Amino acid sequence: MLVFDYNKAIAQVRELRSIAVDMQNLRNRMLADAIQNMKASWKGPTSDLFHSKCEKFAGIINTEINNIRSIADNLELTSKTIEAAERAAVSKLVGGSGAGGSKGGGFR
């Protein structure tokens, strides 16, 4: 039997979104500060190459942040869809078109 725990799924959505925010904050704070400090004290072609690699790395982090957010959004949408389908099925069973009709003889 398939059992879906809506509250657990939504808790996981919140956790994923929290991870994305933490990654974004780390990127903004640590990587951006490191790049700025490096640019202020290190000049030349090697510095430019390193700076380019750091910017590429920041882009990779951005992609991962967006992927995590997309997963969270999809999990939330799927969870809400499953919960709505379960509620509709229970309502239909209890409300009248399930076994026993609407007079109370159905599933409880």
Q: Is 83 part of any domain? A: yes
Q: Is 12 part of any domain? A: yes
Number of domains in the chain: 1
Q: Is 10 part of any domain? A: yes
Q: Is 103 part of any domain? A: no
Task: Measure the CA–CA gap between 93 and 99, rounded to whole angstroms.
Answer: 7
Full-model pTM:
0.74
Q: Is 45 part of any domain? A: yes
Q: Which domain holds residue 22?
A: 6-87
Q: Is 97 part of any domain? A: no
Type of residue numbered 98: G
Greater pLDDT, 32 or 72: 72
CATH number at residue 33: 1.10.287
In this prediction, residue 97 carries a pLDDT of: 55
Q: Is 101 part of any domain? A: no
In this prediction, residue 1 carries a pLDDT of: 61
Q: Which whole number is the average pLDDT over 37-53?
A: 88
Q: Is 102 part of any domain? A: no
Task: Measure the CA–CA gap between 52 and 39, rounded to whole angstroms.
Answer: 11
In tens, the pLDDT along 55-86 reads: 899 999 999 999 999 999 999 999 999 999 99
